[in-house]
């Protein structure tokens, strides 16, 4: 019996090719049956006011560990307007990934562990680190449902060191930030494009295949990540590692996880 994989797409990532995503997942993991559905709140018929309040309560307001934000009426109204506008560009807000995950699970009454649920969103997701006491952006929040941030794919893993050195040197000059933004569209992009993901990057789809694979394998095996950069299950901290593991990686899995996939396929 195949494992059902439900992928909820809010329509905010133009690079996402739903057909290719499902086809590649079936090749990688023959024992899964993936399908791409509408945004989670549309698919489960969740009231928009409840969705807006969920987003407002999950928003990170200050860089402190809190279980839940107590939103002002205007914050809920803002989230409601965003929903009414439909797919929109990201505005820099960060949402508590674990809290949002728990609220989506509750609103949608996701109880079955036999099906894998994956939410693809453009919202920035973060988790609080007790060691340095601040939130860090994440590409994926594993669990049921797993949350994947397409914006986080570009923003969470660190960019090449040259990027930061160049930005720091130029930004201190008068009008430096504007000049750097112009350079990003030309010179910097050409020099570093093979080492970092860019807006409207065609490689995003390949990375999403890898992220969905991580979500599926975690749900089925209970293992979070792999320490081998030559495995799709590698937890990349740098853009270069992300591209190496999920785009340039021809083997797809390390030896151990390759055998695990074969065992699950038999």
Q: What is the rounded CA–CA span in Å between residue 248 and residue 197?
A: 13
pLDDT at position 212: 98
Give the range among 124-138, 190-204, 220-234, 252-266 with minimum mean pLDDT: 190-204
- Tokens representing 256 are 């151990």
Looking at the predicted structure, is the pLDDT value of residue 244 above 80? yes
H or E stretch covering 116: strand 116-121
- The count of structural domains within the chain is 1
Give the mean pLDDT of 72-95: 85
* Structural domain includes residue 169: no
With respect to residue 186, please indicate whether it lies within any of the assigned structural domains.
no
In a domain, 175, yes or no: no
Residue 182 included in any domain:
no
Please tell me the predicted confidence (pLDDT) of residue 189: 62
Q: What is the predicted pLDDT for the residue at 174?
A: 66
Tell me the sheet residues that pair with 158.
Answer: 238
Residue 213, in any domain of the structure = yes
- State the pTM of this model: 0.91
> Has residue 33 been placed in a domain?
yes
Residue 155, token pair as written in the block: 């923003």
* Beta pairing partners, 94: 124
Cα(197)–Cα(156) distance, integer angstroms: 11
Largest Cα separation within the chain, whole Å, is 63
CATH code of residue 24: 3.40.390.10
Q: Which domain holds residue 45?
A: 3-159+196-265
């Amino acid at each position: 019996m195949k494992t059902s994989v439900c992928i909820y797409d809010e329509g905010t990532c133009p690079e996402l090719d739903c057909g290719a995503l499902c086809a590649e997942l079936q090749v990688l993991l023959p024992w899964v049956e993936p399908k791409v559905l509408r945004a989670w709140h549309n698919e489960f018929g969740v009231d928009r006011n409840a969705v807006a309040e969920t987003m407002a309560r999950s928003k990170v307001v200050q860089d402190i560990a809190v279980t839940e934000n107590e939103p002002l009426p205007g914050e809920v109204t803002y989230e409601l307007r965003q929903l009414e506008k439909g797919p929109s560009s990201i505005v820099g807000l960060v949402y508590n990934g674990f809290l949002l995950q728990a609220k989506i699970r509750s609103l949608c009454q996701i109880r079955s562990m036999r099906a894998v649920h994956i939410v693809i969103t453009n919202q920035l997701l973060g988790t609080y680190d007790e060691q340095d006491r601040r939130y860090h952006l994440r590409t994926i929040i594993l669990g049921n449902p797993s949350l994947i941030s397409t914006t986080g794919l570009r923003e969470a893993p660190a960019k090449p060191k040259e990027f930061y050195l160049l930005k720091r040197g130029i930004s201190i000059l008068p009008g430096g930030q504007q000049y750097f933004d112009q350079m990003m569209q030309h010179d910097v992009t050409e020099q570093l494009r093979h080492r970092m993901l860019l807006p409207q990057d065609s490689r995003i789809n390949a990375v999403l295949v890898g992220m969905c694979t991580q979500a599926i394998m975690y749900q089925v095996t209970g293992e979070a990540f792999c320490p081998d950069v030559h495995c799709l299950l590698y937890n990349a901290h740098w853009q270069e590692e992300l591209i190496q593991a999920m785009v340039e990686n021809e083997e797809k899995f390390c030896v151990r996880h390759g055998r695990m996939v074969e065992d699950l396929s038999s």
